[in-house]
Chain A
Amino acid sequence: MHTHKPLVRWSLFGLACVLVIVIDMPIISLILNSFRSTAEILASTSLVPKSPSLLNYVYVAQRTSFFRYLLNSLVMAGGGMALSILAATLAGYVLSRFRTGIFQAYGTGLFLVQMFPILLALIPLFILFRTLGLVNTPYSVIIMYTVAQLPFATSMFRAFFDGIPHDLEEAARIDGANRLQGFALVVLPLAGPAIAAVAIFAFLFSYNEYLIASVMLRRESLFTIPVGIQQFMQQYSTDWGSLMAAAVMAMLPTFVLFLFIQKYMMYGAIGSGVKG
């Protein structure tokens, strides 16, 4: 980080402002459109609504199951996030500390499975979940979200743990701790930033995911937001006003989460663990 003269700082600030406006334009127009009726959205050519109204929001809040969808989304995204962090910290630790053939192979395998397209897996998985009695339950979706995140989350944790010296665990061992304790009480508490980073990756993925949820959840009371808002779409027309209002409302929780957690993400052990 460098200190610049005020002139440089403020011109960089101006540049950043312009970039934010340009880059976020689709989101800005989405928010502005959410204050318009569908007919006005379709007829209007200007960016700013002529007669902004909150009717879309009132409609979504009162006449649709939006909050039900929101709760479902939070449960499923949160569940997927928690489970993937649990499984990935353990696996990431093993892959970081044990470097014999079988674990190397597991790491490579994990890296490769993420190339398998989910589309093709839908029917076998549906049959599998039916056998387990998990169809039409949040668990099926939570498990799928967990697995979808595992390769990436594991490699992030592995890279992070690579950066934590072994001396720490060894010191603990000398003090009488066993290996699990060495991991759980010494290494894990240091992994806060990596956990934060994985958490937000996993949460965002799950919260916005559509395909898996649309196939696995066949009851309206279980719909997540991305599935629920599709109900505003008919075959040849869409209630854009409600859809955009619902989208803005759906953005809020992720936005808040983001504000709180983004600082940690900057330090996250992103990526570099993919070593095959």
Chain B
Amino acid sequence: MSTQDGKIDGETLQPERKVSRRKFLRVTGGAAGAALLVACGAAPTTSSGATGGQATTSAAGASGGATAAAAGAAAGGSSGDVQFWDMVWGPNAYIDTAKKVVDQFNQANPKIKASYQSNPWSSWPQVFTTAVGSGTAPDVSTGGGYQAIQFYPQGAILEIDDVVATFKPDDFLPGQVEAMKFNGHYVALPWGIDIRIPFYRKDMFDKAGVKPPTTWDELRPALKKLTSGNQYGIAFPGNDNAAWQGMWGFVINNGGGLFSKEGKLDVMNDRTVEALTFISNLVKDGVVHPGSAGFSGDDMMKAFSSATTAMVMFVPGTEERVTPETKQNVQLLAPMTGPHGDKGTLLFANNLMLYKQTKNPDATKAFLKWWSANSLPIWTEGKAGNLPARTSIAKDPYFQNNVYLKRILDEWVPIGKLTGANASGTFPVLADIDMGGAMKTMASDILQGQDVKAALQKLEAAIKGYKTFKG
């Protein structure tokens, strides 16, 4: 390209100056106003799209609310739109199945139009916070284990005491509904149980001549025997929350926890220190996979699949994540007895929460009740990774005929406790503890061989610094 290329053909450039300036104004005006034009053009699209339930237009929302209120007053079937945001709880088939179950609901409840929106895990903190903060929350959603109590103090969550009152005590597995209670109110309805449980490789145990341990005293020498060369006794995924959760399984196994029964922060209690010292000693023994501090869940599964680690403390469905040949060798360990005779592990109550922004509370509650009773296919077809909280669903042959799932339900779930142990119910600081990173740091510290008490003091200081921390 050279200057000559830019030669001007004078003939073509003769228009009068004023005219073209005006023309220019029009052109630039159009360009500058593009955003505004776009805005105008888009507004109708959005409101017509509001059947999707997104409360972007007050008109659609208000009329929906009015209808719902009227229907509620008539005490007949409720009606209106219900937008349901769901996390990805299983493999690819999960989303399709969940959509299908929502369709079934719509067929059974012609007056209500429920819609389904799947949310990737990687963006859920900003997605939900943005949605709630800008007044575009869904009507009902699943989410993080402590999401309901995270948003509740900020006035975003609808209490569902009336819904809970319609259930019988044995509709849910023991303790699940109570796990949703804060200040005498129910902030969410449990639907699934997530739990940390130890799996081991039978082939590696057999080769090392090790019997599955039943107590901690047996576990330590067993792991030593299982360790040789590039092969290790146990691994944790330190890059993932599952690492501290797995360790906390041991803490609860020993009767420890973050809180006293009265709900006071009690990080440095003897049982907790003892349990984590036990893990720390395993690290010092060299039986914990040296990559643990940086492992993701998948790295840990890679080590487990390739027989470089004999044991993992992980999630239900771990056995499904190895090749079929390896699966025959993956076994579930029975609950071990701690040094003081306790048993237990860490459990999460996955929950469905309603948002105060809902325009159709009655329809949403109807959806909630229906989903709670009828969502069996999300496990049987959608292969959701957790276990059902609803007794009627847990009785299904899908769970009862699966040796792993049945054993988890029978042996492990009854001894599971929540992150808030040994306090009961749920409370706001748990959301920050669950998500805020301090627990993960504590686990990484221990996996990197640092002093247990120092790691716990750091954790305690972090929790005390949380805004939600109350005495």
Please report A residues at the B interface, Cβ cutoff 8 Å: 39-40, 42-43, 45, 59, 63-64, 83, 86-87, 90, 119, 122-123, 126-127, 130, 132-137, 139, 142-143, 164-165, 167-168, 171-172, 175-178, 180-181, 185-187, 189-190, 192-193, 210-211, 214-215, 218-220, 227, 230-240, 242
- Closest residue of chain A to B327 (Cβ to Cβ) is A39
12 additional A-B pairs beyond A133-B47, A185-B13, A233-B120, beta carbons within 8 Å, are A42-B322, A43-B305, A43-B323, A126-B131, A133-B56, A134-B42, A139-B38, A180-B20, A219-B49, A230-B121, A234-B88, A237-B298
Q: List 30 A-B contacts (CB under 8 A).
A: A123-B129, A130-B56, A132-B39, A132-B42, A133-B42, A133-B43, A133-B57, A136-B49, A137-B45, A178-B24, A181-B13, A187-B6, A210-B123, A214-B120, A214-B127, A215-B127, A218-B136, A230-B123, A231-B92, A231-B118, A233-B88, A233-B121, A234-B91, A234-B94, A234-B121, A236-B240, A236-B242, A236-B314, A237-B301, A240-B298
Compute how far the CA of A219 lies from the CA of B80 in the bound complex, rounded to whole angstroms.
19
Partner of B323, one of A40, A193, A219, A233: A40
Q: Are A172 and B315 within 8 A (Cβ)?
A: no
Partner of A190, one of B1, B121, B305, B314: B1
B329 CB within 8 Å of chain A: no
Residue numbers in B under 8 Å from A235 (CB-CB): 87-89, 121, 385
Q: Are B305 and A39 within 8 A (Cβ)?
A: yes
Residue numbers in B under 8 Å from A176 (CB-CB): 10, 13-14
Among B27-35, B251-259, B285-293, the one that faces the other chain is: B27-35
Chain A nearest CB, measured from B98 CB (Å): 12
Residue numbers in A under 8 Å from B126 (CB-CB): 119, 122, 211, 214-215
Q: Are B305 and A180 within 8 A (Cβ)?
A: no
Q: Are B31 and A86 within 8 A (Cβ)?
A: yes
Q: Are B3 and A237 within 8 A (Cβ)?
A: no
- Closest residue of chain B to A123 (Cβ to Cβ) is B133
Partner of A236, one of B28, B131, B135, B315: B315
Residue numbers in A under 8 Å from B45 (CB-CB): 137
Chain B nearest CB, measured from A168 CB (Å): 5
Q: Are A172 and B8 within 8 A (Cβ)?
A: yes
Question: Known: A139-B42, A165-B3. Is A63-B92 also a contact (CB below 8 A)?
Answer: yes
Question: Known: A175-B8, A234-B91, A239-B92. Is A180-B24 also a contact (CB below 8 A)?
Answer: yes
Residue numbers in B under 8 Å from A165 (CB-CB): 3
B297 CB within 8 Å of chain A: yes
B170 CB within 8 Å of chain A: no
- Closest residue of chain A to B39 (Cβ to Cβ) is A132
Q: Are B31 and A190 within 8 A (Cβ)?
A: no
Q: Are B130 and A122 within 8 A (Cβ)?
A: yes
- Closest residue of chain A to B17 (Cβ to Cβ) is A178
Q: Are A218 and B298 within 8 A (Cβ)?
A: no
Partner of A242, one of B92, B121, B122: B92
- Closest residue of chain B to A180 (Cβ to Cβ) is B24
Compute how far the CA of A232 lies from the CA of B93 in the bound complex, rounded to whole angstroms.
10
Chain B nearest CB, measured from A238 CB (Å): 6
Question: Known: A168-B3, A231-B118. Is A42-B21 also a contact (CB below 8 A)?
Answer: no
Residue numbers in B under 8 Å from A168 (CB-CB): 3, 6, 8
Partner of B90, one of A139, A175, A215, A234: A234
Partner of A219, one of B20, B54, B129: B54
- Closest residue of chain B to A132 (Cβ to Cβ) is B39
Q: Are B130 and A126 within 8 A (Cβ)?
A: yes
Interface residue SS majority, chain A: helix
Partner of A227, one of B8, B21, B120, B323: B120
Question: Known: A43-B306, A177-B8. Is A135-B136 also a contact (CB below 8 A)?
Answer: yes
B5 CB within 8 Å of chain A: yes
Chain B nearest CB, measured from A119 CB (Å): 8
| List of 4 A-B pairs having minimum Cβ-Cβ separation, nearest first | A230-B120, A133-B43, A175-B10, A177-B13
B95 CB within 8 Å of chain A: yes
- Closest residue of chain B to A127 (Cβ to Cβ) is B134
Residue numbers in B under 8 Å from A133 (CB-CB): 39, 42-43, 46-47, 56-57
- Closest residue of chain A to B54 (Cβ to Cβ) is A136
Chain B nearest CB, measured from A181 CB (Å): 6
Chain B nearest CB, measured from A45 CB (Å): 7
B326 CB within 8 Å of chain A: yes
Q: Are B13 and A230 within 8 A (Cβ)?
A: no
Chain B nearest CB, measured from A179 CB (Å): 8
- Closest residue of chain B to A217 (Cβ to Cβ) is B127
Compute how far the CA of A167 lies from the CA of B20 in the bound complex, rounded to whole angstroms.
22
Residue numbers in B under 8 Å from A127 (CB-CB): 133-135
B117 CB within 8 Å of chain A: yes
- Closest residue of chain B to A242 (Cβ to Cβ) is B92
Chain A nearest CB, measured from B446 CB (Å): 21
Chain B, residues 410-422, CB within 8 Å of chain A (1/0): the string is: 0000000000000
- Closest residue of chain A to B94 (Cβ to Cβ) is A234
B52 CB within 8 Å of chain A: yes
- Closest residue of chain A to B321 (Cβ to Cβ) is A237
Q: Are B46 and A137 within 8 A (Cβ)?
A: yes
Residue numbers in A under 8 Å from B133 (CB-CB): 123, 126-127
Compute how far the CA of A139 lies from the CA of B45 in the bound complex, rounded to whole angstroms.
11
B406 CB within 8 Å of chain A: no
Compute how far the CA of A43 lies from the CA of B321 in the bound complex, rounded to whole angstroms.
10
Compute how far the CA of A176 lies from the CA of B121 in the bound complex, rounded to whole angstroms.
61
- Closest residue of chain B to A230 (Cβ to Cβ) is B120
- Closest residue of chain B to A37 (Cβ to Cβ) is B323
Q: Are B13 and A39 within 8 A (Cβ)?
A: no
Q: Are A232 and B8 within 8 A (Cβ)?
A: no
Residue numbers in A under 8 Å from B322 (CB-CB): 39, 42-43
- Closest residue of chain A to B44 (Cβ to Cβ) is A133
Q: Are B6 and A220 within 8 A (Cβ)?
A: no
Question: Known: A176-B13, A239-B92. Is A126-B134 also a contact (CB below 8 A)?
Answer: yes
Chain B nearest CB, measured from A54 CB (Å): 17
B302 CB within 8 Å of chain A: yes
